[in-house]
Structure 1
Amino acid sequence: MPLPRPSRLPRSAPERPGPAPRTLVMLAFEGARLLDITGPLEVFSSATRLGGRYAIQVCSPDGRTVTTASGTRLVVDAAVADIAAGPLDTVLVPGAEELTQGRFPPGLLDSVRTLAGRSRRVASVCAGAFALAGAGLLDGRRATTHWRHTATLAARHPTLTVDPDALYVRDGELFTSAGVSAGIDLALALVEADEGSDLAREVARDLVVFMQRPGGQSQFSVPARTPRPRHDVLRALLDAIAADPAADHSNTALATRAGVSPRHLTRLFREHTGTTPTGYVEAVRLEAAQSLLANGETVTAAARRTGIGSDESLRRLFLRRLGVTPSAYRSRFHTTTR
């Protein structure tokens, strides 16, 4: 008996090629901080694994293995000159302590200029901003860097407007960020711009990080970045403000508690904190509101529980200090807990 003929399988339609992946180049160099390199790369590699489209290359000015600041040796894919011809999407430049002292590894600035000239956008992590500025990319621009080095960056490059407290700053297609963890915030922001908030949120969940801190958010909490005052009365006031931001912390009330005149209190605050009593209280209340929103509180509850008052007052404060609305801030943070 003849064997039955196998049925003919339907011919599948030819697969249509998807959009070309975005070519992302990390420029490594001698003495670079390892986490400045690996932090953003983890974000982009996770995004690719979860459905994004990035083609990642790590290069060095001469193609040689580099030794990072931690002593870890990093094997690169290519020299800058050997990166395949054609336009690039993103160039990332990490930081190094030597850059803040005006010492640049051989070929670094030329490499930055070469890659930037081929790329749609350029981003730096931490002290990498010094390399962008040294290459002439930040003239007349806004930028940030690690809080320890913002004053140095501003003094060395007078045409540059330095934001001393932002996590990251965008000026056109140039991006600069603060310390190493801010490089992850910046990378998440770039993924969100490229692939949408859903994928960026999945990457944040995968890496167990916040999605994502707004660029204008402060690098440090108010108490952490305020030197502990030597004045006993002022120390007690700062502790009371932090413990209960919603209490009556008007100038008159604070001066009464301190046993000094409102005018003398303002002098003490300026001398020891660099701001006025009103400015300090506002900053503490803002951070308290951020924490409440990140933990799922409504805008109304956050405004009331921090002493800011109304939704509109909270909205104006967020826009002025962070550049986002309270609702947008809450959405970015609270979605990571769902």
Structure 2
Amino acid sequence: MHRIGFLLSDGFQIMALAAQSVFEYANVVVGESFYALENFSIPGGEIRSSLGMAVGTRSLRGRIDIDTWIVAGVNDPLSSPAEDKTLRFLRKASERARRIAGICTGGFVLAEAGLLAQRHATTHWAYAREMQKRFPDIRVEEDRIYIIDGPIWTSAGMTAGLDLALAMVETDLDPAVARSVAHKLVMQQRRSGGQSQHSEMLDLAPKSDRIQNALNYARNNLRQSLTVQELAESVHLSPRQFSRVFTLETGQPPAKAIEKLRIEAARLMIEQSRHPLDVIAKETGFRDRRHMREAFMRELHLPPQAIRRNARGAVSP
């Protein structure tokens, strides 16, 4: 049995506990209690989340045999530094546990404990640069979903904790088990650690259903040329009216937005598949591999080959 301890502090972000469902369903898939989970805190007893919900915890006193420690983040790590007792505990735990993880801003607690020194790490994009500023000996990669550097794991924002937990299941059990768990949890996809935290669809955020429908149409038909006239017809507008409304709602012209959607789709394929770059360029609507590279360099400042290398584990267990 693999014992997992979730380390909570007052004001912890409740979404961190969602990762527990990944281990619960891993037990369901394998048909046995492979994982045993328990919540801990320095004082023990009830600990309140940032939402005010009380969660029962076990104190850290006495002998505790835990294979994996997972530290929950808080909404604002800059105004809620970890207690000295927590930091001392984690330093000792790092000598005995198989691995220690920080979900979202839980990475700041690991940093304060000195566990991220000279390691690659990530955290929520809103605090990544501050982590790098405060802890210059950490190699912060602010655009990664999660990072594994030896026995230390860190993830981006809260939903990325699910991806981190799935990666643990894959490491402990089998990729097929992790896929089955993701399916049972109705996760749209299992994101690789090298995947970007950034989402073009979220950034565009149109105000009307009509422009949202045009973007959905584009995303589902990236292999096509996707002219302004075609997009306008898909939502029953004239090309001139469509361009005006699209730019007004998204802050950029249709052609630029579509290129960003192509780049995002191509990046996902590069990170998650072994398809040749020529095939990926064709499937995402670029003229050819060279055209795709030019778009990547213009927008991401990295060629597709570098993104594939990063996704395949510049940092791995």
Common fold by TM > 0.5: yes
Equivalent-residue separation in structure 1 for 2:203 and 2:162 (angstroms) = 21
- Mark the CA change 1:214 to 1:144 in structure 2 (over 3 Å): closer, same or farther: same
- Mark the CA change 1:143 to 1:193 in structure 2 (over 3 Å): closer, same or farther: same
1:50 aligns with 2:29: yes
- 2:110 aligns to what? 132
- 1:187 aligns to what? 165
Q: For 1:45, give the aligned amino acid.
A: E
- Deviations, residues 105-148 of structure 1 (Å, cap 9, x unaligned): 46322232233222011111000000000000001111110010
The question of whether the paired residues in 2 share the 8 Å contact of 1:92 and 1:124 is answered with: yes
The question of whether the paired residues in 2 share the 8 Å contact of 1:27 and 1:94 is answered with: yes
- Mark the CA change 1:281 to 1:318 in structure 2 (over 3 Å): closer, same or farther: farther
1:307 aligns with 2:286: yes
Compute the displacement of 1:97 (Å). Answer: 2.6
The question of whether the paired residues in 2 share the 8 Å contact of 1:100 and 1:127 is answered with: no
Q: For 1:187, give the aligned amino acid.
A: A
The question of whether the paired residues in 1 share the 8 Å contact of 2:195 and 2:311 is answered with: no
Specify which of 75, 88, 91 is matched with residue 110 of structure 1. 88
- Deviations, residues 35-62 of structure 1 (Å, cap 9, x unaligned): 11x1111111111122261121211112
- Deviations, residues 155-197 of structure 1 (Å, cap 9, x unaligned): 0001111111111111111110001100000000110011001
Equivalent-residue separation in structure 2 for 1:28 and 1:102 (angstroms) = 13
Residues 101-250 of structure 1: pairs in structure 2 closer than 5 A: 101=79, 103-105=81-83, 107-222=85-200, 224=202
Instruction: Among all aligned residue pairs of Structure 1 and Structure 2, give the percentage whose two residues are the same amino acid.
Output: 29
- Which structure has the larger Rg? 1
The question of whether the paired residues in 1 share the 8 Å contact of 2:81 and 2:109 is answered with: no
Equivalent-residue separation in structure 2 for 1:281 and 1:30 (angstroms) = 44
The question of whether the paired residues in 1 share the 8 Å contact of 2:44 and 2:59 is answered with: yes
Equivalent-residue separation in structure 1 for 2:192 and 2:47 (angstroms) = 32
- Deviations, residues 201-260 of structure 1 (Å, cap 9, x unaligned): 1111111114420111111224645899xxxxxxxxxxxx99979869xxxxxxxxxxxx
Equivalent-residue separation in structure 2 for 1:82 and 1:125 (angstroms) = 25
Equivalent-residue separation in structure 1 for 2:149 and 2:268 (angstroms) = 28
Equivalent-residue separation in structure 2 for 1:142 and 1:30 (angstroms) = 27
Equivalent residues, number: 260
1:71 aligns with 2:57: no
Instruction: Give the 3-state SS of the residue equivalent to 1:100 in structure 2.
Output: coil
Instruction: Give the 3-state SS of the residue equivalent to 2:159 in structure 1.
Output: helix
Equivalent-residue separation in structure 2 for 1:33 and 1:307 (angstroms) = 41
Q: What is the Cα-based RMSD across aligned positions, in Å? A: 3.7
- Mark the CA change 1:282 to 1:113 in structure 2 (over 3 Å): closer, same or farther: farther
Q: For 1:27, give the aligned amino acid.
A: L
Specify which of 80, 87, 90 is matched with residue 60 of structure 2. 80
Equivalent-residue separation in structure 2 for 1:284 and 1:219 (angstroms) = 14
Equivalent-residue separation in structure 1 for 2:107 and 2:24 (angstroms) = 23
The question of whether the paired residues in 2 share the 8 Å contact of 1:98 and 1:104 is answered with: no
Compute the displacement of 1:80 (Å). Answer: 1.4
The question of whether the paired residues in 2 share the 8 Å contact of 1:246 and 1:285 is answered with: no
Unpaired segments ≥5 residues, structure 1: 1-20, 229-240, 249-271, 326-338
Q: For 2:23, give the aligned amino acid.
A: F
Specify which of 23, 33, 47 is matched with residue 3 of structure 2. 23
Compute the displacement of 1:324 (Å). Answer: 4.0
- Mark the CA change 1:145 to 1:245 in structure 2 (over 3 Å): closer, same or farther: farther
- Mark the CA change 1:95 to 1:107 in structure 2 (over 3 Å): closer, same or farther: same
Under a length normalisation based on structure 2, what TM-score does the superposition of the two structures give?
A: 0.70
Unpaired segments ≥5 residues, structure 2: 207-217, 227-250, 294-301, 313-317
- Mark the CA change 1:287 to 1:245 in structure 2 (over 3 Å): closer, same or farther: farther
- Mark the CA change 1:304 to 1:95 in structure 2 (over 3 Å): closer, same or farther: same
Q: For 2:262, give the aligned amino acid.
A: R
Equivalent-residue separation in structure 1 for 2:224 and 2:121 (angstroms) = 34
Equivalent-residue separation in structure 2 for 1:283 and 1:245 (angstroms) = 14
Compute the displacement of 1:104 (Å). Answer: 2.1
- Mark the CA change 1:283 to 1:151 in structure 2 (over 3 Å): closer, same or farther: same
Instruction: Give the 3-state SS of the residue equivalent to 2:45 in structure 1.
Output: coil
